[in-house]
Amino acid sequence: MSRFSICVLLPSDLAPIRQLLTDLHNFVEREIAAAVEVCEEAARHPFQEYYGYCAKEDDRVVGFIVFGVIPMTERCWDLYWLAVAPAFARQGVGQRLAGYMEKIIVEAQGRQIHVDTSSLPAYLPACRFYDKVGFALRARLADFYRVGADKLIYVKDLNGQLPSCHFNEAD
């Protein structure tokens, strides 16, 4: 039995989440502010636009995840944020959070989960994680974040297969 519990993200979790993101040393302040803003929305209005959960050891936030339905799609969801405190890395926290998210999305008859990240070397562990939990790299947008920082888009198909990319000539 895991020593971590997964709980709905609460307003009282926002300060520990900010600290967790700061401790990762991967994010600049505007990214941390954006993450906290999404977490705040998930905490204040649960299960509306965003679904937010924390992994906790006792009462300490050791990881969190925020995801939601992608508007104007057919049952596609977006994984907005998933982060684990550095002291708890490689202990299964991220996998538990991702599995918990996937269970909720499958129960809601979700079809795909999308997530994006940067191609910068600091984000290589995130890329490896997404590969490990069953996501496939589907697109690379060159110089998206800034010159030399591509946007990598990963997709997990919950029906077991990803459709090939094709375009109708009439489009």
**Which domain does 92 fall in, by range?**
5-157
Query: How many residues are there in the chain?
Result: 171
Q: What is the pLDDT of residue 155?
A: 97
Question: What sign does the CA torsion over 128, 38, 104, 53 have?
Answer: positive
When pLDDT is cut at 50, 70 and 90, the band that residue 26 belongs to is confident
pLDDT at 33 over 90: yes
> Higher model confidence: residue 161 or residue 29?
29
Q: What is the mean pLDDT of the chain?
A: 91
Q: Tell me, yes or no, whether 99 lies in a domain.
A: yes
> CB under 8 Å to 18, separation ≥6 — which residues?
32, 36
What CATH number corresponds to the domain at position 140? 3.40.630.30
Q: Percentage of residues in the chain with pLDDT exceeding 70?
A: 92
Q: Tell me, yes or no, whether 73 lies in a domain.
A: yes
Yes or no: say if 113 and 135 are a contact pair by the CB < 8 Å rule.
yes
The tokens for 102 are 């996937």
Its pTM stands at 0.89
Q: Tell me, yes or no, whether 137 lies in a domain.
A: yes
Q: What is the pLDDT of residue 160?
A: 62
- Structurally, how many domains does the chain consist of? 1
The number of beta carbons lying within 10 Å of the beta carbon of residue 87 is: 11
Q: Tell me, yes or no, whether 120 lies in a domain.
A: yes
- Can you point out the beta strands (E) in the chain? 5-8, 51-57, 60-69, 76-84, 112-118, 136-146, 149-157
Q: Tell me, yes or no, whether 168 lies in a domain.
A: no
Q: Tell me, yes or no, whether 37 lies in a domain.
A: yes
> CB under 8 Å to 56, separation ≥6 — which residues?
4, 5, 6, 7, 62
Strand partners, 54: 7, 64
Residue appearing with tokens 């290589």: 124
Q: Tell me, yes or no, whether 77 lies in a domain.
A: yes
Q: What is the pLDDT of residue 162?
A: 46
pLDDT tens per residue, range 67-118 = 999 999 999 999 999 999 999 999 999 999 999 999 999 999 999 999 999 9
Q: Tell me, yes or no, whether 50 lies in a domain.
A: yes
